């Protein structure tokens, strides 16, 4: 027994250091058969490094499947024994941490619905005191980097040495393309604040659907993420949770084959390769800026309709002055020149006015 445990510990350390790190498994462990069959098929691809499964599922609404609970932990142990894949589960309470560790789970992760709550994160962190287990921390549901950083700090202060991040996108009202908007700039900023800390991407919870998983996974690799966590199920359509976003192990393998992996060895990267990566980041940020601008214009059009229906003038000087004042204050704070901000706002304002003009006269 002793040697098996030692062996598995070093496998875990190897996996922790491997790039790209690929974690896969079902959203939820549903039965021993489902979990083990999924694990076997994933292991057979030779492309998966760790097995994930939700044992306790924090659900947004009551009545949805809330996980099998601790009875699923021996199934994880069994899946590991059969496939050799180290395991990881989500924990949200101190008791869950203890149970997971009792059953030899190799790595833990804190879910998005837990990261939002400092009380819960602290409870998990307290249970981790004195325990040598790697922990991945998902971004909080809402786009708040301080909450994400706070969770990292709480876990680090508990003495956990191996901490990684999972970017799973952010809830944003009215968003339709993604289940959780990626807001890549936030993940990039988190990466910048935590140099050297592993950050992997979870395209499954960003997309909420299968057809765009590959695009998001590729984007993450282009942005130099350290790996991926992707949900996989032997029969995705009949999954008890997140059915629309899960893929079969075979499809996962196809996706992993289709991804263009970036250079792993930074020291051998030429100046041009580094430059390409930065340009890629700029392209993604520009892309998002364009989407935001389009969103702003659509809101301006709605205001146009409202003004038309109430016979109000398009230009309301007070409002415009408020926008300028607010923007200058912000510009000063974040290091953008007033000159640049004026030019940018003028262009945006002109386009807004043109749109509203069209609406008012339609």
Percent helix, percent strand, percent coil in the chain, to nearest 5 = 55, 10, 30
Residue number with the smallest Cβ distance to ligand PEP? 111
Query: Of 248-307, which residues contact Mn ion (CB under 5 A)?
Result: none
Q: What is the rounded CA–CA span in Å between residue 92 and residue 4? A: 28
Task: Using alpha carbons, select from 20, 32, 77 the residue that is nearest to residue 51.
Answer: 77
Q: Of 245 and 356, which CB lies nearer to Mn ion in the complex structure?
A: 245
Q: Which does 168 bind (CB under 5 to 8 A by kind): Mn ion, ligand PEP, none?
A: ligand PEP
Q: Which stretch binds Mn ion (CB under 5 A): 30-38, 67-75, 150-158, 242-250?
A: 242-250
Q: What is the token pair recorded at 129? A: 């005191």
Write the interaction track for ligand PEP spanning residues 141-170; mark x where CB under 6 A is met and - where it is not: ---------------------------x--
Number of residues that bind ligand PEP (CB under 6 A): 9
Q: Of 86 and 304, which CB lies nearer to ligand PEP in the complex structure?
A: 86
Question: In angstroms, what is the minimal distance from the CB of 318 to ligand PEP?
Answer: 43
Q: Is the sign of the CA dihedral 82, 77, 157, 92 positive or negative?
A: positive
Task: Using alpha carbons, select from 300, 302, 203 the residue that is nearest to residue 255.
Answer: 203
Query: Of 15-34, which residues contact Mn ion (CB under 5 A)?
Result: 27
Q: Concatenated DSSP letters for 76-127?
A: HHHHHHHH---EEEE--SHHHHHHHHHTT-SEEEE-HHHHT-HHHHHHHHHH
Exposed, middle or buried, 140 (CB in 10 Å: 0-12/13-18/19+)? buried
Question: In angstroms, what is the minimal distance from the CB of 133 to ligand PEP?
Answer: 18
Q: What is the rounded CA–CA span in Å between residue 210 and residue 218? A: 14
Question: In angstroms, what is the minimal distance from the CB of 24 to ligand PEP?
Answer: 11
Q: Which residues contact 276 (CB under 8 A, 6 or more apart)?
A: none
By CB under 5 A, tell whether 242 contacts Mn ion.
yes
In a 3-state reduction of DSSP, which class is residue 115? helix
Question: In angstroms, what is the minimal distance from the CB of 282 to Mn ion?
Answer: 32
Of the candidate residues 80, 167, 179, 205, the single one contacting ligand PEP (CB under 6 A) = 205
Q: Are 247 and 236 in contact (CB under 8 A)?
A: yes
Residue number with the smallest Cβ distance to Mn ion? 27
Q: Are 23 and 200 in contact (CB under 8 A)?
A: yes
Number of residues that bind Mn ion (CB under 5 A): 2
Q: Of 231 and 253, which CB lies nearer to ligand PEP in the complex structure?
A: 231
By CB under 6 A, tell whether 112 contacts ligand PEP.
yes
Q: Which residues contact 70 (CB under 8 A, 6 or more apart)?
A: 55, 99, 103
Q: What is the rounded CA–CA span in Å between residue 11 and residue 290? A: 44
Of the candidate residues 20, 25, 54, 67, the single one contacting ligand PEP (CB under 6 A) = 54
Q: Which does 25 bind (CB under 5 to 8 A by kind): Mn ion, ligand PEP, none?
A: none
By CB under 5 A, tell whether 48 contacts Mn ion.
no
Query: Of 254-313, which residues contact ligand PEP (CB under 6 A)?
Result: none
Q: What is the token pair recorded at 347? A: 């262009």
By CB under 6 A, tell whether 140 contacts ligand PEP.
no
Which residues form the interface with Mn ion (CB under 5 A)?
Answer: 27, 242
Which residues form the interface with ligand PEP (CB under 6 A)?
Answer: 27, 54, 90, 111-113, 138, 168, 205
């Amino acid at each position: 027994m002793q040697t098996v445990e030692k062996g598995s510990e070093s496998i875990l350390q190897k996996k922790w250091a491997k790039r790209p790190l690929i974690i896969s498994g079902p959203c939820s462990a549903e039965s021993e058969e489902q979990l083990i069959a999924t694990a076997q098929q994933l292991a057979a691809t030779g492309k998966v490094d760790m097995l994930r499964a939700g044992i306790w599922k924090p659900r947004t609404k009551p009545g949805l499947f809330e996980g099998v609970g601790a009875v699923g932990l021996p199934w994880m142990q069994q899946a590991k024994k059969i496939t050799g894949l180290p395991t990881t589960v989500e924990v949200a309470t101190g008791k869950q941490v203890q149970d997971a560790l009792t059953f030899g789970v190799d790595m833990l992760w804190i879910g998005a619905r837990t990261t939002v709550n400092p009380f819960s994160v602290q409870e998990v962190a307290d249970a981790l005191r004195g325990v040598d287990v790697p922990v991945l921390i998902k971004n909080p549901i809402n786009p708040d980097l301080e909450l994400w950083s706070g969770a990292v700090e709480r876990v680090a202060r508990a003495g956990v040495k191996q901490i990684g991040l999972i970017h799973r996108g952010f809830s944003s009202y009215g968003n339709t393309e993604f289940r959780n908007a990626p807001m890549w700039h936030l993940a990039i900023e988190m990466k910048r604040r935590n140099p050297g800390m592993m950050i992997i991407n979870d395209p499954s919870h960003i997309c909420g659907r299968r057809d765009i998983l590959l695009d998001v996974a590729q984007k993450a690799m282009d942005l130099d993420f350290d790996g991926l966590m992707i949900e996989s199920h032997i029969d995705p359509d009949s999954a008890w949770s997140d059915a629309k976003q899960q893929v079969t192990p075979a499809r996962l393998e196809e996706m992993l084959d289709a991804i263009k992996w970036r250079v792993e060895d930074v020291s051998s990267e030429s100046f041009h390769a580094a430059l390409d990566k930065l340009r890629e980041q700029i392209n993604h940020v520009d892309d998002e800026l364009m989407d935001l601008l389009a969103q702003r214009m659509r809101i301006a059009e709605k205001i146009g309709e409202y003004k038309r229906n109430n016979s109000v003038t398009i230009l309301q000087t007070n409002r415009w002055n408020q926008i300028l004042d607010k923007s200058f204050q912000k510009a000063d704070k974040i290091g953008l020149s007033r000159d640049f901000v004026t030019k940018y706002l003028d262009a945006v304002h002109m386009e807004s006015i043109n749109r509203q003009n069209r609406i008012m006269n339609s």
